[in-house]
Amino acid sequence: MAAKKATAKEIREDIARARSHANKGDYLRTLSCLANAVKGLVVSQVYGPEKFEINAHLTEAVRDLNKMKMISKLFPAGLKYEKGKEKAFYQTLMRLHKKLGEAMEKARVTKLRKRLIVLDDNMIKAANLVKANNQLEARKLYRKIVEYFQDIEGIDSDIGNRLTMFGMFPEALEYLTKALATSANDVRAHNAVILCYEGMNETEKAMEAIREAMRRLGSSEGLYLRLAKLHFKKREWGEVFNNAQAALDKNPLNAEAAKLVKLAEPKVFTTTKAAEKAKGAAPGKSHDLSF
């Protein structure tokens, strides 16, 4: 045990915390606080009536511990705190804390695994409903899945991505919007939102989704290329050129980006030259160029 001396006040506070945690059924915090109190008593310089009072409080805290369901099951006769044997009692509490912690973690993992199996089974059922063209029942099942498994991290993003792959774009966006509200840097959710708007031919919304992804995740070759393709649909040649060239700058071997640059380049520069020519031919304008 550490040699740091504890004050009577600190020991009393640890005891009070232990009793509070015991009332809430929190085994690990109860044991931890109680062990701290016992350790404090060993290394402290508390004597006389003050130590007598602390021992009385400690006895009450141990009584609270013994009333806890798991402790009474493991120790039918109860744990005993004896004055003069504080070190041994501290070691008992710490061993118990370790064993209970390991057992509780094992139980938590086992429970989680069982829940994930149930989740997987329901995801398969929902997918089969979609494949059977029963989208109404599939949507109902996905809602139930989210309600029951809301504590599973990324559940909205997962369902949103599945619905996107099934081509159920409006339904997917509902889940993806929730996913991004919770985790704004969710790469899969951002990609799925873009796919949804592309699939719905909502070009402007798809472009805004790409820009939002760039703001949150940073620019990338893939995002620049997708933006260039969307601008190509609208024949916005300047934007096609700029974004395709940005993709090419990130990867000079990107054949799609190179093709778009090649397509856009004559449109952009022909238009620019024509504009300059018209401007230069305007009456009363100087033809001198300055740099």
Per-residue pLDDT reduced to its tens digit, 182-241:
999 999 999 999 999 999 999 999 999 999 999 999 999 999 999 999 999 999 999 999
Instruction: Give me 106's structure tokens.
Output: 């094992």
Query: What pLDDT is attached to residue 96?
Result: 94
Instruction: Give me 203's structure tokens.
Output: 């070009």
First-to-last C-alpha distance (Å) of the chain: 78
Flag the least confident range among 2-16, 100-114, 241-255: 2-16
What pLDDT, in 10s, does the model give residues 166-185? Answer: 999 999 999 999 999 999 99
Rounded to the nearest integer, the mean pLDDT of the chain is 89
How many residues would you count in the chain? 291
Please say if the pLDDT value at position 281 is more than 90: no
Cβ(250)–Cβ(221) below 8 Å: yes
- In this prediction, residues 157-169 reach a mean pLDDT of 96
Instruction: Give me 227's structure tokens.
Output: 């933006």
Query: What pLDDT is attached to residue 275?
Result: 52
Cβ(217)–Cβ(188) below 8 Å: no
Q: Which of 137, 36, 129 is nearest to 90 (CA)?
A: 36
The rounded distance, in Å, linking the Cα atoms of 194 and 189 is: 9
Instruction: Give me 59's structure tokens.
Output: 């006895």
- DSSP secondary structure string for all residues of 261-275: HHHHHHHHHHHHHHH
The alpha carbon of 54 is separated from its chain's Cα centroid by a whole number of angstroms, namely: 44
Exposure b/e, 20-32, CB count within 10 A at least 16 = b: ebbeeeebeebbb
The rounded distance, in Å, linking the Cα atoms of 90 and 93 is: 5
- In this prediction, residues 66-91 reach a mean pLDDT of 90
Please say if the pLDDT value at position 16 is more than 90: yes
The alpha carbon of 176 is separated from its chain's Cα centroid by a whole number of angstroms, namely: 14
Cβ(235)–Cβ(227) below 8 Å: no
Query: What pLDDT is attached to residue 272?
Result: 53
